[in-house]
Structures are given as structure tokens and as C-alpha cells.
Structure 1
């Protein structure tokens, strides 16, 4: 995790040369030599002067020479200084903005909105996009409605926490008549409105298993349908985040070794470390950036994570972001993550206001 630390004092020339070096390294992925730096910097400086400045930057821990190469590359501290003070944010291309609006705007299911946001982040950045799912401690049941469809399928409309609406289709083992569905919905709404959703399903299943013979037909139907209708939501709650584009990371040389990929993919599968990291991001507003070992997790030592929070009714409920190499194009990724968070919030708020 990034910690406040004393920032090296650099004069304007050193800052400019560091900025050029980082930008060139991000673009090419190769250590930058003094000759290339002199050519790109646009300053009337001798090669000796450039080498002296680079030596000073190396002494300050901002750049390093990998192996025996004469070129230099930024360290985590160099990236941090670059991101915090030297970065020039690029405006997003209107085509990208329109693409996000076009693909996220018409969606109605909250989970589909989240999955689309993750996929778009991965597609546009060519890195890994992830979105944490809202972590609600208590889900309060408000109302449920069952609408019969064809071929024994039933549309479930579930309202929770005042305004959150979930639509899903279930396929019970037998056919329920419209009258049976109406009676089951009326029973659930009358008996369980205002109660915790998890507790409702647990209670119904216990009754179904232990007192099936004594249950009236209305309650029996309600328990059978609720097992499907409410159970699918619980399965989704156990998934902490949606991840897309993880294989994009194989295209970056610094991440492409089998050992490093194994560590990354293991972290994606096990989830705990990423969940803890995303939880830390929930605590701050705006865009949050972890560079290399700042995350505190070894699997991410060669990666950066750029995140922003999203929410409903000005309440933060989740985090989204991009995982890529430390030499990612921060000037492009940062505004993209910020835009996606705002669009996801807008889409979820609009969904919350639309009960049908």
C-alpha cells in the first residue's frame, strides 16, 4: 500500500528528464539510454550533463539500471513521483466515451451492468478489468412477483432494500399455474416483507424439510419457488468481483514468464488478496493507484492497480479498476477508470429508480 513519504526535491530540468524517461519506457518497454533521452528531451544539454542528471536520479532511487544495460528504467518510487506530480492526463477519445454509453446505457440487470463495465475496461485498455460486486451486509426483502412464461419458466421480480430490483428467470421441476404463482407471491409478501433475505430462505427450507406434511399448499408452493428464486441470488453474493481480460496480461513481456503468470492467475482464482486490496480502495474517494509492491502482495509486484469507487445514492458500494504492468499508460487509464466508475454509478442509480 502506498504510504506518505518524503518526496525527492528535483529541479525543473531533472523533473523534465524523469518525465521523458518514464514516458519513453512506458511506450517502448526498454531501458532508456542518455543518447535517446537527449534526443527526446528537447533540451540543449550535453550527453555528459544528461548522464550526471541520470546518476542523480538513480542515487535518489527514482531510476535503475537493469542488469548491465547502459539504459535506465523507472523504479516504483520513480513511477510514484511521475504519477503524483508529472503526469499529463489525456482527454478520452469521444469514440470511447460513446462506446461506454452505448453498451452500458440500455442494460437493466445490475449484474449485467457490472459485467459489461469489467469487459469494457479490459477491451479498451487491453489489460485486466475488474469490478467488485456490492457487498451488502443485510439484504431486506420487500416484495416478490412471479410471472409465468412459456415452457415452465417463471420470471421473478424481486425488490430488496427499498429500491433495488432484480429480474431473473427460473425453471422449476413442475408447472405452476398463474393462480398458484399469485398465491405464493402473496404469501411471501404478507409473511416476510421487511425481513432479511438470507433468513427467509433458511426458514423456508427448514420448514420444507421438517414440516412438509403440515404445511398448507400455499406455503408449500411458496417454499418450493423461493428455493429457486432466492437461492440464485445467494450464489451470486458469494462471488466477490467480476474479472475480465486477465489473459491480456500475457501480452506484456515483463509479466509473461510462467512463474509470474502462475502467481497472478493464482491470485485471481483465490481472490482473498484482491478482495482485501479492493476493500482498502473502498476507504478512499476518487482514483486510487497502487504501483508494484505498494499493494503489499507479491503476485502484484510487477503490476499496477488503478481503481475508483462507485455507488448508489452517494453511498459507496463497490470498486472497479484496471490491473496491468507498472509501465501502463497512466495518462489514459486514469481518466478511463474514473469515467467508468461514474457511468456505472449512473447506470445503477437509474436502475434503482426504475422498478420494472
Structure 2
């Protein structure tokens, strides 16, 4: 365990390196920080920090830079996450509040996170498996064709064109529509199959083939589908970042949805911002990056995750504050949708 003074020295090294992108020497620490000890004492502390693996010397006669282990201790010992200013909070609320559907919410969130943090923003769509049905619509669109529309409580809209099985009368279509909404309003998507199991028995025999066709598509869409979709933005910010490994590896990893899912990690405590630093990331393409992520949801229900990716030399307090604030606002927007 490091004592308070060595922790203060480490904190100062991290802050200076993030600010200047240069190795940090003992003289610079004395000049910039009120550590209350001599340069010689700071050099001794830096030697201990280096022996313990928290900092390293990139070149002979150079100062020191934090290692992944040093950044991890810095993040773990953060006493506060830097809050956004009132102007920034108003801007977030106004920008996200103007969204008109779920796709727009996600798109705006990606752009907002990338602008706030100057990093790559990554946002997961609300998972269907954690959603409930708000409304089901059946709309005739062509001869012997219906459009099935399912709207979830998160504002997600799923649409499929299906065979009407010869049933085109508005009365029959309306009867099926009413039964579907009666059975499914507020139903969790994992419970849909059970909720509609006896629905065809409530219809005349000649309308049951239509019901069977609609239910088959409905279950395929909402229950059997592996729908975890992730979008990212702000890739242009990578051009201004420094990575210990090639930029190409990072860009290639960003293109893989499965990799991005692992990158964001598992949903957990919605009040917690998680940070993965360098080698803590599961994919080799992101071993020179840090990922700051948080859950978002409606009430106590976690729907998905969002976050940002950047170099390990990151302003962690500000980035964590921005990710946490945006996650909260996205949850509020979805709760009111």
C-alpha cells in the first residue's frame, strides 16, 4: 500500500501527463504542485512508484509516465467525478430532448458523447429482451400483405411484412389487433410466447391461419432474435490521439459488433461508471485504450450501456462525469417517451 504522499505524487504525474502528453520529472512536480516536500523526496517517491509498477521511464534521462496500473490506482482513488457545468447540462437536455424517436435518441447520444469527451462514443440500443410491449399494430399494405408493427416501452419500433393468409376483411384484422394488444400491453418480451399461447383459440376458425402467421413472425422478431445492436461515432477523434499500438488495430476492432459488446461489458449497477484501462480490455485491438461506460435505463430497469473509448492518457474525472450525465439524461428521455 502506498502512503498518502506517494499517492499525491502519482496523482500529480497522471494529471500533468494527461495535460502535456510529456514525461513528468520531479522538478516539474515541485514547480506545478504544492506537495510540501523537496525535489529529492519526490525523486525517492517516484523511484518507489516505478519499482511498484505505477510509473515508467519511456526514455533514458526522461521523466516518468503512468502505466496501466498507475492509471487504475488513480481512477480507483478518485474522490470525485468532475461534474458538468450548468450550461453543459442544459445543452445536453436540450439536444437530447429534441429527439423524435429511438434511432434519433441513439444518434444524438453518440454525437453528444463524442463532442463532450473528444473520444470515440459507443452506444448500445436498448435490448429487446429487457423491454415491454407498448402497442401492436396491423396495417394492410398490399393485396394479401400486412405490416406488423411492434412498439416497445423504450420507443423501439420493429416492423415486418407478413402474409395475410387470405384474410383481408378489416373486421378480422381489427379483431386480431385488439386481441394482440389485450394480451401484450405491458408484457415483458420474454413472456410474449406464454401470453399469446391461447390467442388463436379466441378467433373464428377461418382467421386462425392469419393469427398463426402473425404470431410466428412476432415471436421470431421479439423472442428468438439476437438483437444487440451497437453504434459508434467520433472516429475522427482518433486522429488526434496517441496509441501505443497501431491506429489500424483500433479501427478494425471498432467495426465488430461482438467486440463492441465485450468492450462495453456486462450491465451492472446503473449508478456506477465503469472504467477499463489498457490491458484490462478483453480484445487485443483495444489494449492501448481506455473505456469509460455506464448503464442507462428506465426507473430501476437497465436497458443497455453507453460509453467512450480513447487512449489511456485520458482526462478520467471529466470523461467519467460526462458519461454518467449523458446516461442519466438518456434514461430520462426514454422514460418520457
Could you say whether these structures have the same fold, taking a TM-score greater than 0.5 normalized by the shorter chain as the test? Answer: yes
8 Å CA contact retained: 1:184, 1:219 = no
Distance change >3 Å, CA 223–CA 108, structure 1 → 2: farther
Distance change >3 Å, CA 38–CA 80, structure 1 → 2: same
RMSD: 3.9
Residue 200 of structure 2 aligns with which residue?
none
Shift of 1:321: 0.9
Shift of 1:100: 0.8
Mapped pair 1:93 → 2:85: yes
Mapped pair 1:308 → 2:301: no
Mapped pair 1:84 → 2:76: yes
* Whole-Å separation in 2 of the counterparts to 1:242 and 1:70: 40
* Whole-Å separation in 2 of the counterparts to 1:278 and 1:117: 15
Q: TM-score, normalised by structure 2?
A: 0.76
Mapped pair 1:343 → 2:329: yes
* Whole-Å separation in 2 of the counterparts to 1:15 and 1:293: 22
* Whole-Å separation in 2 of the counterparts to 1:116 and 1:155: 28
* Whole-Å separation in 1 of the counterparts to 2:132 and 2:34: 62
- The equivalent position to 1:249 in structure 2, one of 225, 238, 248, is 238
Shift of 1:95: 2.2
**How many residues of Structure 1 are paired with residues of Structure 2 in the alignment?**
313
* Whole-Å separation in 2 of the counterparts to 1:140 and 1:90: 35
Mapped pair 1:323 → 2:309: yes
Query: SS at the partner of 2:243?
Result: helix
Mapped pair 1:127 → 2:116: no
Distance change >3 Å, CA 341–CA 106, structure 1 → 2: same
1:1-356 matches, cutoff 5 A: 8-12=1-5, 14-43=6-35, 45-86=37-78, 88-137=80-129, 143-145=135-137, 158-160=150-152, 163-166=153-156, 184=173, 186-190=175-179, 193-194=183-184, 238-254=227-243, 260-282=246-268, 285-351=271-337
8 Å CA contact retained: 1:142, 1:189 = no
Distance change >3 Å, CA 11–CA 103, structure 1 → 2: closer
Shift of 1:281: 4.3
Shift of 1:332: 0.7
Query: SS at the partner of 2:77?
Result: helix
Gapped runs of 5+ residues in structure 2?
A: 163-167, 194-204
Shift of 1:67: 3.0
Q: TM-score, normalised by structure 1?
A: 0.73
Shift of 1:16: 2.0
| CA deviation vs aligned residue, 1:83-131 (integer Å, no higher than 9, x gap) | 1224553331222211110111132412321221122101111111111
Gapped runs of 5+ residues in structure 1?
A: 1-7, 173-178, 201-214, 352-356
* Whole-Å separation in 1 of the counterparts to 2:18 and 2:336: 38
* Whole-Å separation in 2 of the counterparts to 1:56 and 1:251: 33
